[in-house]
Chain A
């Protein structure tokens, strides 16, 4: 079956602390920190967007893919809810930057925070169908959250990229399962700057119902139990949800730890569980089993079971690891800079 041949991630270096945002709005920082388990989040500078994050993550994926040439990539799919253009694909720019044009298929995916995992799912389908040898799936976002909204404390930026193939795999995809219903928990209408959400309705019936639905189905399909996995990565809109959904289903803190990035990264929307997977692959050993489960409002979850191969040892250190991007070379910014970076200042000029 298809699997991952190369992977890479990219994160901005800028961070803003929950306290800094809370200070501006008179919000209770400790409750966000405790209640949502969020300490800080990444912030993209003005010259970084979904396209630039995607290019850097994809270049790193190509490095780890070793002998794959950009021109051999048959498709590029970018899942994001912050494509820089409303009309004009992100994928063609990324393809051009990688040198993968013109004999390639491109599409930009949108499905709230699930767009990245669907790009992975579709990319692998091409491999399994024998249509191409390599397909690139990218999960990237520079997420939006309205000023003072709860989302502002979490909306973050980052990208994960995966080159899918069928030979020389780093991780073999053993099973997938997707689980979807029509769920009005979170949306953004055309021409609106920021998404809207249904408050506490985004929890039990939305995030938890779908992530558990997909996880339980894939466990049944694979005839596996939580203890059969070395690691598990769940969509992480905040620090608390992925931890709770893991523990409630019998997974342990140790299993989610490597890919549990949200407490200090924030919610990278489409990038969340895919970037968590890159951080998990960074520490995985040959033979490790990894469960990944995304969630996108509207709503649905894609679950994957990955089996890590021997080749991980060869490629892990070929480029920068995700935790290093998360934890080193950081710059903390104050709210004014953040507001400028995120174009939240209205100039009536």
Chain B
């Protein structure tokens, strides 16, 4: 995937700080943020930051990886439900991929997610690590 710096930069609030939106009328939180509440068309919302603890709803271990992660070896990807009920997908790290399980508690950590070859920008963001403390 081509990762132009502008495209990555635009997502910093989500990737770096997990900024979500909470709509006024429904009280629902959406990540990534949306401009329109799909439940009622509301556009009035406020920024909220998501909690950094959650549990795995489902996962897989990608064993045949895209070129970007070709050298990393098998890696886990999970859909995590955070403590406030918000769900998001992210890569697992600091884990034996064979030990990932549905229901596993995870903690969000700031990691390097991608890099644009040897010369391009480094892309940082959230990943999940098993909650051990």
Contacts and interface: CB of A to CB of B under 8 A. Distances in A.
Are A and B co-members of a single complex? yes
Q: Which of B49, B93, B111 has the most CB of A within 10 A?
A: B111
A56 B71 contact: no
Contacts of A52: 109-112, 124
Interface in A289-309: none
B124 A99 contact: no
B17 A56 contact: no
B12 A45 contact: no
Contacts of B17: 96-99
Interface bin, chain B: 10 to 19
B55 interface: no
Interface of B: 12, 16-17, 49, 71-72, 93-94, 96, 109-113, 122, 124, 127, 132-133
A84 interface: yes
Interface string A195-227: 000000000000000000000000000000000
Interface string A170-203: 0000000000000000000000000000000000
Contacts of B111: 47-48, 52
Contacts of A48: 111-112
A55 interface: yes
Interface of A: 13, 45-49, 51-52, 55-56, 59, 84-85, 93, 96-99, 320, 324, 328-329, 331, 340
Given A55-B110, A96-B16, A84 B122 contact: yes
B94 A97 contact: no
Contacts of B124: 51-52, 55, 93, 97
B118 to A, nearest CB: 10
A99 B72 CA distance: 30
A8 to B, nearest CB: 13
A324 B133 CA distance: 9
Contact of B93 (A45, A49, A51, A85): A45
Nearest to A55: B110
A84 B124 CA distance: 12
Contacts of A47: 93, 111-113, 127
Contacts of B127: 47
Given A13-B94, A320-B133, A329-B132, A97 B110 contact: yes
A117 to B, nearest CB: 24
Contacts of B49: 99
B133 A56 contact: no
Contacts of B96: 331
B74 to A, nearest CB: 13
Nearest to B113: A47
CB-CB nearest 7 A-B residue pairs: A55-B110, A97-B16, A47-B111, A47-B112, A329-B132, A320-B133, A52-B110
Contacts of A324: 133
A163 B101 CA distance: 37
B12 A96 contact: yes
Nearest to A46: B72
A55 B113 CA distance: 14
A299 B94 CA distance: 36
Nearest to A93: B124
Contacts of B109: 52, 56
A328 B132 CA distance: 9
A38 B113 CA distance: 32
A140 B133 CA distance: 22
A48 B72 CA distance: 13
B110 to A, nearest CB: 4
A331 B129 CA distance: 14
A177 B2 CA distance: 49
21 contacts: A47-B93, A47-B111, A47-B113, A51-B112, A52-B109, A52-B110, A52-B111, A52-B112, A52-B124, A55-B124, A56-B109, A56-B110, A96-B16, A99-B17, A320-B133, A324-B133, A328-B133, A329-B132, A329-B133, A331-B94, A340-B71
A92 to B, nearest CB: 10
